[in-house]
Amino acid sequence: MTVMLVNPSQKSQFVSREKEFVTGGKCRFCGAELTHSFVDLGMSPPCNKMVKPEQVNEMERFYPLNTYVCSECFLVQVQEHISASLIFDDEYTYFSSFSTSWLEHARKYVEMIIPRLGLNKDSQVIEIASNDGYLLQYFVQQGIPALGIEPSANVAQVAMAKGIPSLIKFFGCQTAAELVHDGKAADLIIGNNVLAHVPNINDFVGGIKIALKPGGVVTMEFPHLMRLMEENQFDTIYHEHFSYLSFMTVSQIFAAHGLTLFDVEEIPTHGGSLRIYGRHDDDTEKLMTERALELLEREREYGLDNMETYNDFGARCLEVRYELLEFLIDARRRGKRVIGYGAPGKGNTLLNYCGIRSDLLEYTVDRNPYKQGKFLPGTHIPVYEPEKIDETKPDYLLILPWNLKDEIMQQMAHVREWGCRFVIPIPYPQVIE
């Protein structure tokens, strides 16, 4: 049984203040002045910079997490307060292979795309932001040449240990030109959850144009802005996510660089994502699909090309914040123990925005050994191995990577034996019996 802690159909009891027209800099795509705030999540530390025990008493850097929407192209974005080189360094802690469901998602993609594009041993596949080889390993198993491009050395080295060739660098026009010069132009370019991570989106998409063979295809996956807004997924906003994309806006970005998005799939990953398919403009064999046209129309009906649509999102985020705090405070007053499951970037945005510390969330656990024994950024909540849950037998388990809630609740089903219940924070705080 699911117990809703707030009525999602209830009209917001918090009145949005008039937007203050302060500049957020220039739009990273079209260059227009950014004057419309989408949601202001306050000051927050880099979400994936775990705190080591010896750093607990040291000063942390906090940066503004104010998100703007461009009134010209409707790209939702945060400014580059932290350079990408500092975010994706040698201590990057996100390893894709620790999620069983994500590995299965990658395997199914490879199983689908090979016959769709007719890929074989003479083809070249390139994945941008290839992480620890979670996806390219399935191409390698099929004997299809694959190359990963990954800026974080520590995760790229894991991929190379699996036998996956990897370049440790950022992708853009210069890297693309080097690939073509070395005979590595791609039949298929893949980018899963990377398009949102690049501060210079024009250089990035321009690089795709250069590196893609004349008849090649690019596929990219990223969280869908419309789903973010529908489901109050404000915790997916953090400094390394520079852009928040609709199909309408991303089509404009690719078109500006001579690429046409001819197909799109709506997929369930990360709370609702898009998988886009792109080609060169002059590749007329790949026709625009009905589902691509239909999604463009649906986004317009939702109002993604109307600034008024973006105005009340901040008030809805406040509702979630207050309801989650009320639940945690009430649980503490009743003598109940609440602990977290997971230490994802989105969880750190949520906890810092809500001001939740270890007095309300005693600790969290994570399967990633790179995070265990450390503390969450900003909140300094300790991170342990999952076995800690069985030792302490908490009353509630707050699932911070709520996009993996089904996988996690299945893995942790045994906690129900002592009456522990799951708590999902997004889209509204809810207790699952």
Per-residue tokens: 123:
């083809």
pLDDT at residue 1 is higher than 70:
no
Q: Extract the tokens encoding 231.
A: 């489901």
pLDDT, tens digit, for every residue of 288-335?
999 999 999 999 999 999 999 999 999 999 999 999 999 999 999 999
Is it the case that residue 8 has pLDDT exceeding 50?
A: no
3-state helix, strand, coil in the chain (%, to 5): 35, 20, 40
Q: How many domains does the chain have?
A: 2
Give me the DSSP letters along 53-76.
GGGTTS----EEEEEEE-TTT--E
Question: Under the phi-then-psi rule, with left for phi > 0, alpha for psi from -120 to 50, and beta for the rest, what region is 333?
Answer: alpha
Say yes or no: 297 and 389 in one domain: no
Please give the Cα distance from 312 to 59 (Å, whole number).
34
| CATH number reported for the structural domain that contains residue 362 in this entry | 3.40.50.720
Q: Residue 298 burial by CB count (10 A; 0-12/13-18/19+): exposed, middle or buried?
A: middle
pLDDT digits (tens, 9 = 90+) for 328-355: 999 999 999 999 999 999 999 999 999 9
Reply yes or no: is the peptide bond before residue 8 cis, omega within 30 of 0.
no
For residue 45, pLDDT over 60 is answered with yes
Q: Per-residue pLDDT for 10 more than 60?
A: no
User: What is the predicted pLDDT for the residue at 4?
Assistant: 46
Both 187 and 296 in one domain: the answer is yes
Provide the pLDDT for residue 80: 84
Length of the chain: 433
Whole-number Å distance between alpha carbons of 362 and 213 = 52
At 130-155, the pLDDT tens digits run: 988 889 999 999 999 999 999 888 88
Question: What three-state secondary structure class fits 352?
Answer: helix
DSSP label at 308?
A: G
For the chain, what is the radius of gyration of the CA atoms? 22
For range 391-418, the mean pLDDT: 96
Q: Tell whether 280 is covered by a domain.
A: yes
pLDDT band at 102 (very low <50, low <70, confident <90, very high): confident
Residue 259: pLDDT over 70: yes
Domain limits for position 340? 321-432
Kindly state whether residue 137 falls inside one of the protein's structural domains: no
Confidence of residue 16 (pLDDT cuts 50, 70, 90): very low
Q: How far apart are CA 369 and CA 323, in angstroms?
A: 32
CATH of the domain at 13: 3.40.50
Does 30 fall in a domain? yes
Do 53 and 201 lie in a common domain? yes
CA 254 remoteness from chain centre: 20
Confidence of residue 7 (pLDDT cuts 50, 70, 90): very low
Say what percent of the chain tops pLDDT 90: 82
Q: Which of 42, 52, 101 is nearest to 314 (CA)?
A: 42
Pair 268, 245: CB distance under 8 Å:
no
Q: What is the mean pLDDT of residues 412-417?
A: 97
Whether 184 and 222 map to the same domain: the answer is: yes
Q: What would the pLDDT profile of 166-211 be if each residue is shown by its tens digit?
A: 999 999 999 999 999 999 999 999 999 899 999 999 999 999 999 9
What pLDDT does residue 151 have? 87
- What's the chain's average pLDDT? 91
Residue 1 lies in a domain: no
DSSP state of 209: H
Query: How far, in Å, CA of 166 to CA of 129, rounded?
Result: 10
273-280/259-267 β-pairing: antiparallel
Which residues share a beta bridge with 295? Answer: none
